[in-house]
Amino acid sequence: MDPVMPPPIKRIVLDRTPNVVDGLPRQDLERPTSEQATLGHSTGADGVATSDDAITYKASARQAIERMRIESVWLAYGERWVVRNVSLPVRQGEVLGLIGASGSGKTTLLRSLNRLTEVTAGAARAGQITLDGTEIGGIEVTALRRRISMVFQQPNPFPMSIYDNVVYALEEQRRGRRHAQEDNERRSERDERDERNERNERDERDERQGGLRLPGARLRRGRRRHEDAVITALQRAGLYDEVADDLDRPALSLSGGQQQRLCIARSLAVRPEVLLLDEPCSALDPISTAKIEELIVALRESVAIVIVTHNMQQARRVADHVAFMHLGELIEYGTCEQIFERSLHSRTREYVNGEFG
Amino acid sequence: MSTTAILDQDLGGGPSAPPADAPRPARRDSVRAWPLPDQIAYWLCWAAGIAMCLIALGTVLFMLLKGISYLKLSLLVTSPKASGFNQATSGGFLDPIEGTLLLTAIGTVVAAPIGIAVASWLTEYGRPSWLARAVDSAVEMVAGAPSVVLALFGLLVFSRPALAFLSQTSAGGSVFARSFINAGLIMSLIALPLIVGSTREALSQVPRHVREASYALGKTKATTIWRVLLPASRPGIASGITLGMGRIIGDTAIVVFLLGSTLRIEPASGAPVLSLLRGTGSTLTSYVYENSPAGEGDAPQKAYVAAFVLLMLVLAINALAMRLGRGKGEAVRWTR
C-alpha cells in the first residue's frame, strides 16, 4: 500500500472465475429469487458457494431485493475508457462495497449510477444501468437523483442552517415533480412521505385560516414545514440527538463527522431507494468513521447501499458483497468473506493483502 | 558547538530553554553584506514604500489642513448657492453629497444583478465557449476603458432622440443627455467588471463536490446556483459591490459629461422620483472640480473640504470592502 508506488501498468489477463459477474449467463442474474443467492452461489463451483452461509453475523434474516443492475457498462472520459465492461447487481438489504486501487474506475462507476458522470464534459457510457428494470437514462435526471442519492468524500453541507440543509433536499424540483408523482403511485415510501407533506400543508392551511393567534405561535408553527421529515432524516442519520437543541445553527459549524452525517441525513431525507457513498469516511477521524459505519450497516435494510472505499478494513466491516476493480475492469465479485478470505483471483488477493494499491 | 552536540543536548534536555552558550541564530544577514546592485535595489524598494506612505499621508493631511478652517458641519447640510462666487456666500455641499449617494445607488442597483448574472453564467455555464470568451473579453474591455471614454460613449448614446425620455429635451428639440439616470447607467459600467471579477472568483472558490452534492439531490443547475453557490459566495460578491461603489463615488469624468455641471440638484419637470432621475445635479467629485482653481467656481477651500469628505468616504468604502472580503471568522470553507 505504498502510496508512492503507482499501480502496475501491466494489463491483467483475466482468468474468468465463476465469481466474475459478467461471465454469467443472463438468466441467472434475472431470476427474481436471486435474493439470497449470491452470484458466486448460482454458478456454484468448488465449494465457494457455502461461504454465504458462513457469514451469518451480517446476513441475519434479511431479504436482499435487487434494485439496480449494471450490465456490461463501459464508461469513458473523452477518449479514455475508465470502466470496462462491468456488470453488477445492487440489492436492497445489503451493502455493496467497491474496492480497488486509485484509478480503477470505482468512483466513476458509482457516479454513473445517478448519472452524475454527465456533469463532466466528455463523459460517455455504453451498456445498461437499470433501476427497478428501467434504464436510468430514461428517467428524468432530477427525479432519478432523488431516488439514487449520493454522499461524497468530503463533507459538503450547504452554507445554510442544519435544518435548511435537509429542507433543501426535501424540496422537489419543479421539473422533477411530475415524474416524482408518477412514481408515487407505485411506491409506498413515497406515499408515506407525501402523506407527511400533505399533513404539513394541512397544518399550514389551518394556520392560515386559524385567524387570531399570537405572532410567536404562528412563527413556531410556520417552521413546521417538513419538520417531521427533517427530524426523521436527522434521526436516521444518527445526528438528531447531537443537534436537536439548535437546528438553526450553520451547518458548517458542525464537526467533520457531524457534517458528514448531516450529508447522509440530507441524502436520506428524499427517501432514496439507493444510497451511493463515495469514500464517505476518508476525511474523518476514527470515531466519526465508526459512527458512520454503524449507520451504513443499520441503513441497508431500508435502502440499497453502494460504498466505494479505499479502506480494506472498512469494506470488511460494512460490505456484504464486494466487487474488486482494477484498471477499469471488474476482477472479482463475491461475498465479503469470499473476497477477503478465499479470493479466487490472484490480483484480488494481492490487493487485499496490501501488496499493491 | 557542533551540530551533534546540539542534538544531544536537545534530546537530553527536555522542554527546558536552550543552554546559555548555544549559538543564537543570526538575526538577519546585514544588507551591507549584499552585492552592490542588490543593495541599491533593496534601498529603492524601501524608499518606494516610504514614498507611498508619505503620499497617502500627505494627501489626507493636505486636504485636511487646507480645508479644516472651513470644515463646518453646516457645510454638509446646506446646498451650494449658484450665484456665490466668493467663499462666504457659495453655500455648502449638501447637494453634491446627495448626488454622490444617488448616483452610487443607481449604479450599484443596475450593476450588481447584471454582474452577478454574468459571473454566474461565465463560471457555471460558459457554453458555447466562444460566447464565453467573447463575454470575458468584453468585461475585460469595459474594465480597461477609461471612464472618460465611457462617458463620451454615453453622451452619444443618450443624445439619441429615442432615449430622450431619460433626460431633458431643449426647446430646439436637441436631447440634453445629462441626467442622474444616464450618469448612473454609465457608472454601472465601471462598477460591473469589479462585481463580475469578484463574483467569479468567489464562485470558483466553491469546490466542485459541493455543486455535485446539490445535483446529487436532484437539483437543477439554476437551483444550485441560486440556493447554494451564490449564498456561499456572498462575502466575495459583497466586496465586489463595495469596490464598485468606491469606483463610482470616485469617478469624475462621467459626472461632468453626463450629470451636467449644475452644482445644485435640478429636477426635471414631472413626477417626483422620475423628475429627480431625469434631472441634473452634481457629486462631490464634480463639486471639487468645479470649485477648485481648475474649474469655474472660485472656492478652493470648499473644494479642499469636499475633497477631504470624498476621500474619507472612499476610504471607508474600501475598508468595508476589505472587511467583507475577509468574511466572518467562521467563514464558509470546505475541504477541497
C-beta atoms of A158 and B210 within 8 A? yes
b/e string for B311-330 if b means 16 or more Cβ within 10 A?
Answer: bebbeebbebbeebbebeee
Chain B residues near residue A110 by CB distance under 8 angstroms: none
The residue in chain B having the minimum alpha-carbon distance to the alpha carbon of residue A141 is B218
Q: What is the pLDDT of residue A95?
A: 93
Cell numbers given for A106: 470505482
Which among A146, A152, A160 has the least Cβ separation from residue B213? A152
Contacts of range A349-357, beta carbons closer than 8 Å, 24 or more positions apart:
A351/A99, A351/A100, A351/A101, A351/A324, A351/A326, A352/A99, A352/A312, A352/A324, A354/A1, A354/A312, A356/A1, A356/A5, A356/A7, A356/A8, A356/A101, A357/A1, A357/A7, A357/A100, A357/A101, A357/A102, A357/A310
User: Are B223 and A173 within 8 A, CB to CB?
Assistant: yes
Q: How far is A144 from chain B (nearest CA, A)?
A: 7
Give the predicted TM-score (pTM) of the model: 0.75
- Interchain CB distance below 8 Å, B335 and A283: yes
The upper half-sphere exposure of residue B294, i.e. CA atoms within 13 Å in the direction of its Cβ, equals 7
* Residue A202 DSSP symbol: H
- Chain A nearest-CA residue for B231: A159
ipTM: 0.74
List the pLDDT tens digit at each of the 336 positions of chain B.
444 444 444 454 455 666 777 776 666 668 888 899 999 999 999 999 999 999 999 988 887 787 777 777 777 777 776 554 555 566 778 888 889 999 999 999 999 999 999 999 999 998 899 999 999 999 999 999 999 999 999 999 998 888 888 888 777 777 888 889 999 999 999 999 999 999 999 999 999 999 999 999 999 999 999 999 999 998 889 889 999 999 999 999 999 899 876 778 888 877 778 888 888 888 889 888 888 888 776 677 788 888 888 888 888 888 887 777 665 544 557 766
Q: Is A86 helix (H, G, I), strand (E, B) or coil?
A: strand
- Nearest CB partner across the interface for B231, out of A159, A169, A270: A159
Phi, psi at A225, each rounded to 5°: -55, 120
Q: Which member of B217, B231, B232 has the closest CB to residue A169?
A: B217
Read off the pLDDT of residues B87-125 as tens digits, 9 standing for 90 and up: 556 677 888 888 999 999 999 999 999 999 999 999 999
- Among the listed residues A155, A105, A121, the one whose alpha carbon sits nearest the alpha carbon of residue B336: A155
Spatial contact of A148 and A272, defined as CB atoms under 8 Å apart:
yes
Yes or no, beta carbons of B216 and A114 under 8 Å apart: yes
pLDDT reported for residue A224: 56
Nearest to B218 among A158, A173, A283 (CB): A173
Question: Among B237, B218, B214, B216, which residue's Cα sits nearest to residue B227?
Answer: B214
- From chain B residues 228-267, the ones with a CB under 8 A of any chain A CB are 228, 231-232
Q: Of how many residues is chain A composed?
A: 357
Interface of B with A in 199-228 (CB under 8 A): 207, 209-220, 223, 227-228
Residues of chain A in contact with residue B221, where contact means CB-CB under 8 angstroms, are none
